Amino acid sequence: MEVIDRLIDRVGQGDRKGSLLLIEEGIRLNPDTDVVTTLLDPFLNQVGSTWQRGECTLAQAYVATKVTEETLNRFVPSPGDTGPATPKKGPAVETPEEFLTLPVPDPDTTPLLRSFIEGTRLTREVAGPDLPVGGIVLNPFDLIAVVIGLETWIDTLLFREDILPQVFANTSSDFVDFSKALLENGASFIVSSGGVINTTVLPRHMVEQIVVPMLRETFSRVSAPVIIHNGGGSITPSMDLFHSLPNVAGMVVNEGNDQTVARRLAGEDALLVCGLDAPTLHRRSPREIRKSTSAVLKGRAGDRCIAIGTTGPDPGCETTSEHVLAMKSAVCATGP
């Protein structure tokens, strides 16, 4: 089990090469060992246990998967070809090099971006001049994951540091250009997703060493407040790293996260957006929504820097205005 423990330690540090060297050493010392039953099975079981306890990030689990895959390819005989692979839909491009060949989208001529800009303009018309309107922009870190796929992006982060500055230059420019277009068409602040930058995906040291510097440079070029949205995964453990970034005015707290801890990490002046999980909102009755929203407000009584909203990804299509208005009703009943 000593080899397994050392292997888990190597994977925890994102060290794929060191993990493979440990496996090679174990096989060299025990050439008759069954690699699958005595090494890989207990190794993956332990990785699974740490994942269940919340002690393993997606990036670390990815390294474990790659180590297992390479070990099988090198040391376990193949059972032979099982026939043609089933075609599957993949990402837009497959490598970071291909990503760099793509032009940075022009908000004025790209149809999808134009639809968001027009939607923001119409929302401002309906809201009037006084209500704040947010413009939603995929953060530069999440954008690349969408384009090349999360697996390839994590592989790039872990093993292709040489190409990261060029990738970030492109995604940062896209974020700044799109944010500027939204602000010019009625947005008063920017909502930036946090789906891939949270510590359930990346170890904290990677968030601190890679994500934060990139966001600092990007957000400094946006002339408006920025709210970092959780995007589904919790950003609470990283709030102390995000709250001092340029123009960051607030962050979204996942339903179920400790809001007292979030406040301590985010600082006293940051806006905390607290509320109910958006994808499951339609499963609750308006009465349940009012009750749960009131409980959130009660828990933050005396906190003057909170707002009520949905957390997580987008609400499902089954969500009605009645569900949303039930949250507003609870806020109005609570009073200032």
| CATH 3.30.200.20 matches 2-75 | no
CA distance 229 to 25: 45
**Tokens linked to 28:** 């060299």
CA distance 90 to 70: 22
- Which pLDDT belongs to residue 223? 92
Average pLDDT, the chain: 85
* Residues 263-316 pLDDT 10s: 999 999 999 999 898 888 999 999 999 999 999 999 888 898 999 988 887 888
- pTM, entire model: 0.75
- Which pLDDT belongs to residue 79? 54
**Tokens linked to 239:** 């709030």
Q: Which sign, positive or negative, has the C-alpha torsion 139, 145, 150, 156?
A: negative
Tell me if 266 sits within 8 A of 243, measured CB to CB.
yes
Q: How many residues does the chain have?
A: 336
End-to-end CA separation in angstroms for the chain: 59
Per-residue confidence band for 247, with pLDDT thresholds at 50, 70 and 90: very high
* Residues 78-131 pLDDT 10s: 555 444 444 445 667 788 999 999 888 899 888 888 999 999 999 999 999 999
- The three-state secondary structure class of 138 is coil
In what side-by-side order are the strands of the sheet with 189-192? 134-137, 189-192, 226-228, 248-252, 271-277, 306-311
- In 208-295, which ranges are E strands? 226-228, 248-252, 271-277
**Burial tier of 129 (Cβ tally within 10 Å: 0-12, 13-18, 19+):** exposed
What is the DSSP annotation of 157-218? HHH-GGGHHHHHHHHHHHHHHHHHHHHHTT-SEEEE--TTTSTTTS-HHHIIIIIHHHHHHH
The CB-side HSE value for 215 (13 A sphere, CA atoms) comes to 30
CB atoms inside a 10 Å sphere around CB 202: 25
Domain limits, the chain: 2-75, 96-334
State which fold the 96-334 domain adopts: TIM Barrel (3.20.20)
Average pLDDT over residues 149-158: 85
